[in-house]
Amino acid sequence: MALRHTFPPDTMKSLHSLASSAFLLIAAGSIGQAAQAQDTTYINPQQIPIGTLLAPPPAAGSTRQQDDLAAVLSVQSSRTPEEVERARSDIAKSVFRFADVLGPAFNEADLPKTVALFEAAGENATLVAKSGKRYFNRARPFVSSSAVHPTVPVKQGDAYDSYPSGHATFGYMCAILLAEMVPEKRDALFARGREYGENRVVDGVHYPSDVEAGRIDGTLVAAALLANPSFQTALAAAKAEVRAALALN
């Protein structure tokens, strides 16, 4: 479901400016480091201080916050049963949700190296996203307004974990890494990664600005991973495995 929500120019400028600054840090080598073999940790939250790299979310009671909430309510009023079901299915943080782009040969049973790679990358992304959630402590839409009705189970402990979206972080990180592996499907992979995050608005548990922040977060995580020599080695092995499975060699 394409979200029809436009962010104020100053918000987008700040987000993109901060992302560009972070890329300079990565290019300078301040983020890449060797993996810790004992738990396959390629990066840590301190390498990507997301609390200072992201622009803050709209302040409670502000016009921007009201616009953000209005976008959630608009999606809620127009979401179809099919969109709700697809969004619910995307609750799973699995790279194999991208099988609808890459085909049935892209599956967990046949790609053990890919499974291991994205499990480790996903854990890294979760750590970074959680550091941002703790820093910003933004209330989710259903906490801010009783008019929001989530379509998925919600946990009381996650009520103030809205910004950035962890699912958007994971989905966009996956899109970037998969595009490195299967560049023939680059456009479709990025579109699917965007949808994966936007489905959290369909679920009623995130604002569009949470999703936008998650995309920046996921981009920074992917860039840090790609700068890591140990990750590059694991990625090359997984890439060969995927391309063989998809008959793209």
Tens of pLDDT, residue by residue over 70-90, are 999 999 999 999 999 999 999
Per-residue pLDDT, 29? 41
Residue 31's pLDDT band (cuts 50, 70, 90): very low
Total-model pTM: 0.85
Per-residue pLDDT, 45? 82
- 23 pLDDT higher than 70: no
Per-residue pLDDT, 26? 43
Coil, strand, or helix at residue 145? coil
| Calpha distance 104→120 (Å, rounded) | 23
- 18 pLDDT higher than 80: no
Angle at 245 between CA 122 and CA 231, to 5 degrees: 35
Q: Average pLDDT, stretch 213-226?
A: 97
Residue 8's pLDDT band (cuts 50, 70, 90): very low
Structural domain boundaries of the chain? 11-20+37-245
Coil, strand, or helix at residue 22? helix
pLDDT over 70 for what percent of the chain? 84
Q: Choose which CATH entry (2.40.30.30, 1.10.287.3510, 3.40.50.300, 1.20.144.10) describes domain 11-20+37-245.
A: 1.20.144.10
Residues 6+ apart with CB under 8 A from 142: 148, 149, 150, 154, 204, 205
Q: Average pLDDT, stretch 19-25?
A: 47
For the chain, the distance separating the N- and C-terminal CA atoms, rounded to the nearest angstrom, is 33
Per-residue pLDDT, 3? 56
- Residue 205 is classified by DSSP as S
Q: Average pLDDT, stretch 9-36?
A: 43
- 170 pLDDT higher than 60: yes
Per-residue pLDDT, 14? 44
Residue 32's pLDDT band (cuts 50, 70, 90): very low
Per-residue pLDDT, 156? 83
- Average predicted confidence (pLDDT) for the chain: 88
Q: Do 201 and 82 meet the contact criterion of CB atoms below 8 Å apart?
A: no
Q: How many CB atoms lie within 10 A of CB 71?
A: 20
Per-residue pLDDT, 33? 41
- 36 pLDDT higher than 70: no
Per-residue pLDDT, 28? 39
Per-residue pLDDT, 39? 54
Strand partners, 36: 41
Name the token pair of 3.
């979200």
